């Protein structure tokens, strides 16, 4: 059960990832203490929104398009996309607090204004996002869960894809990047079943990064270790 799921009315949701890693340095602790609350997208957690009232997206984001990054790692891609798209509001969801602290440090140094952060399970965020409220979503180098018995823990399963499809607008783009061939297989098998079409036009499309892509620390590690990145683009039907 995730930390945000401890309310007595919250559903039981298994959570398999890490929440904490190495001890945070003092600056990172300060970022979490001083900056995180102001970057909240709204009342997401069960402790503050037990009735699961939908977020008021118009009030929070002034009618701007909203893009969602699911598991932003250290936040390199988040701040890059926010800076390149100042008329878009980015929401990042990440339960690993070390990654959250890293993102907050980048936001503070760069003065990024159009980023909101939910430090928890994206399923809790899906609960309160209104239908068709998100214009684009990113799933970049998610936890691969390589053992076959753990494949059900991957994001590309009905438990996650059904609510993702609900919150995405018709025509919204969903980008997936991974260096794990079996994750590609499962993604191509599962995502189209939930109201998406794969936009590849040539055999080489999924090997070419997007034109606005910034290579992350994880991707650089994968390249050094000889793994091949794959870039999959889907469009929400409807």
Quote the longest CA-to-CA distance of the chain: 50
C-alpha distances (whole Å) from 55 to each of 44, 72, 117, 154, 171 are: 8, 21, 14, 26, 22
Nearest in space to 31 (alpha carbons), one of 111, 104, 107? 104
End-to-end CA distance of the chain: 34
C-alpha distances in Å from residue 139, one per residue of 30, 81, 94, 108, 233: 28, 14, 11, 24, 10
DSSP state of 131: T
Give yes or no: 127 in active site. no
pLDDT at residue number 138: 98
Please list the ranges in the chain whose pLDDT falls under 70: 1-23, 145-146, 150
How far is CA 199 from each of CA 107, 118, 202, rounded to the nearest angstrom?
32, 29, 9
**Other residues' Cβ atoms within 10 Å of the Cβ of residue 195:** 18
Tokens at residue 79, please? 């701040």
Q: What is the CATH number of the domain that holds 40?
A: 3.40.50.150
Number of domains, the chain? 1
pLDDT in tens, 63-110: 999 999 999 988 999 999 999 999 999 999 999 889 899 999 999 999
Active-site annotation holder among 30, 143, 182, 205: 143
Residue 91 near residue 158 (C-beta atoms within 8 A): no
Q: Indicate the helix (H) or strand (E) that contains 129.
A: none
Residue by residue, DSSP assigns 173-205 as: EEEEEES-HHHHHHHHHHGGGGTEEE---STTG
Sign of the CA dihedral 63, 33, 71, 179? positive
pLDDT at 2: 41
pTM for this structure? Answer: 0.90
The pair of three-digit structure tokens given for residue 163, joined into one six-digit string: 């609510």
- Domain containing 131 equals 3-236
């Amino acid at each position: 059960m995730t930390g945000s799921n401890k309310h007595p009315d919250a559903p039981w949701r298994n959570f398999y990832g890490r929440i904490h890693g190495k001890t945070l340095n003092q600056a990172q602790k300060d970022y979490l203490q001083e900056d995180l609350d102001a970057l909240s997208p709204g009342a997401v957690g069960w402790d503050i929104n037990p009735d699961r009232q939908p977020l008021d997206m118009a009030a929070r984001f002034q009618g701007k398009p909203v893009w969602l990054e699911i598991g932003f790692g250290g936040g390199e891609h988040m701040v890059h996309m926010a800076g390149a798209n100042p008329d878009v509001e980015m929401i990042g969801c990440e339960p690993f607090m070390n990654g959250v602290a890293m993102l907050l440090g980048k936001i503070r140094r760069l003065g990024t204004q159009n980023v909101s952060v939910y430090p928890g399970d994206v399923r809790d965020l899906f609960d309160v996002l209104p239908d068709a409220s998100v214009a684009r979503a990113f799933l970049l180098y998610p936890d691969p869960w390589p053992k076959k018995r753990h494949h059900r823990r991957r994001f590309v399963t009905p438990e996650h894809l059904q609510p993702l499809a609900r919150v995405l607008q018709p025509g919204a783009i969903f980008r997936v990047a991974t260096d794990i061939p079996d994750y590609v297989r499962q993604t191509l098998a599962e995502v189209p079943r939930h109201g998406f079409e794969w936009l590849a036009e040539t055999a080489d499309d999924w090997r070419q990064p997007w034109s606005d892509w910034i290579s992350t620390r994880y991707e650089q590690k994968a390249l050094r270790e000889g793994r091949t990145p794959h870039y999959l683009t889907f469009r929400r039907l409807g």
